[in-house]
Structure 1
């Protein structure tokens, strides 16, 4: 080949590259790919899915469905690790409307019908998601192909612990976890699938077992549960967290929590005795990031010392709204609590001793 032909081919290639900038081009139209895939937990408990030809550009005008089917108590957990879809509508790192552009939709089954958990596009990673039943569907749609996008990749897992790694799972319930002070005096627990979105139509129980006069103290460093406070009732389609000093019945004096708890509204919650139950419940309509909580089993002596340092009294608030207890007296006492007045005793002893000396002389 002559130098003139080589130079001409080089110039032609450069022109093609220049004119392809900012323009949608076919990616791999002549290559074959498998687009509709079924994943069964009986064959594999975890793995990875991706767009066709990942990490290269994907083809145009395709719809790919990835169907996950578990069994029994299994739930499907999806965590996206890469997201780069063509988005002509503005900032791809913070996309708004995904209508009419390349996108990913995630669906679950609620009451026998498919429900959309969300539709995602651009370059922003979707949140970690979880199904409410053993089935979940991921659908990828492309409008056109492109040479400068790389598609998506996600990890999937079939789990039975709802993504909750704290406590000891109790098989008496679908989502039930036990915490024993004999095993762990303090720690954390969280909503299912945290820090992703919690699954819909889900109820989880967290049971705390202390010893003797121990009480359970709980605080929420992070709390975002969809609902309308302060009552968080089912009539307002509210998800909520509730509390009870009883194993099976609701505790009417303990208020529910929902919505977003800010720093200034944060309170700690305390049990009346060594047993405490926390219940998380979501409906089939909304979802949110959920909560992360800190728990601690405290003995009575430790509790009084902590509260005296904090309040200067033995006053304490039980539950969410307070018990109305009056501060106890802070009169100085001896180590055995008798309240003896040491200056008076010393003065009396000195007078008696002086009288004895004067009498003897």
Structure 2
């Protein structure tokens, strides 16, 4: 008997090949699917972990002060954590961040890839300030390790704090806790302020014959792009005398714009006194006294670099 193939029929060998091909295609598809899941898992493993407690916008109209924490604080924060805290104040307010606890893990010499930027590859907290009237922001610094950073203050009414906790392999680092506050007095504790949000203070010997003045946010980093004026009024037979207790004003003599220097300026007049030098640097200056019962002190900072400012004891 002869096998007659009907039209549209395939030989048995062709049918077997088609079945085998279908099986192999199924296996390959399964392998590719498993591989895709594995790739997604690896991607998710390295993807920053963000949560509601990590993404915060804090407005001064809702709260004038409070605290921010790393996720889970004081328990160790999870690996691959990324958090953003945005602070928005009124136009006359400055944002102040004061770190109270800080543990992002020890930093050894082997961990530092770039000596100029030692925190580049480390778990870190970065602080950004925004120039008023622009969309640009400047980074104040990156903070890493276990040493509590200096307090920082915004240039205008907005500040951003970014936390990147990518490593923490043994899950021992507790993270950080910081206190925030919205201020109109620049952190000054003495003198009569002209108006909220304006860094101008007056001192009269009739109400206070001696005291201490300091840079904004002292002993933390003073804010960038800031001018502060201090006016001293004594009695007719008095002069104003200054003794420096601390001095760290970024710059180098002669403390001009050409050196991109912040500076402290003294004057026996409301205008510039060319007979008195500007002061900057890290060396504590000698005592300074006025020629008469009036004295003006002006502090100026630019948008570059940072210092912890000055503290002066005043006697009239």
TM-score of the alignment, normalized to the shorter chain, above 0.5 = yes
Partner of 2:303: 284
The within-5 A match list for 1:277-316 is 277-297=296-316
Match of 2:157 among 134, 146, 152: 134
Deviates most, 114-123 or 143-152: 143-152
Partner of 2:126: 105
Partner of 2:250: 226
Q: Deviations over 1:307-345 (max 9, x none)?
A: xxxxxxxxxxxxxxxxxxxxxxxxxxxxxxxxxxxxxxx
Q: 1:180 to 1:31 in 2, by over 3 A?
A: closer
Partner of 1:273: 292
Give me the whole-angstrom Cα distance separating, in 2, the residues matched to 1:30 and 1:167. 47
Q: Where does the alignment leave 5 or more consecutive residues of structure 1 unmatched?
A: 1-25, 298-361
- 1:261 is displaced (CA, Å) by 2.1
The within-5 A match list for 1:204-243 is 204-229=228-253, 231-243=254-266
1:257 matched to 2:279 = yes
The within-5 A match list for 1:158-173 is 158-171=182-195
Match of 2:173 among 138, 146, 149: 149
Q: Deviations over 1:77-98 (max 9, x none)?
A: 0000011113464599xx9611
1:185 matched to 2:209 = yes
User: SS where residue 258 of structure 2 aligns?
Assistant: helix
Give me the whole-angstrom Cα distance separating, in 1, the residues matched to 2:119 and 2:51. 27
- 1:120 is displaced (CA, Å) by 0.8
Q: Root-mean-square deviation (CA), in Å? A: 2.3
Give me the whole-angstrom Cα distance separating, in 2, the residues matched to 1:219 and 1:200. 25
Give me the whole-angstrom Cα distance separating, in 2, the residues matched to 1:118 and 1:209. 38
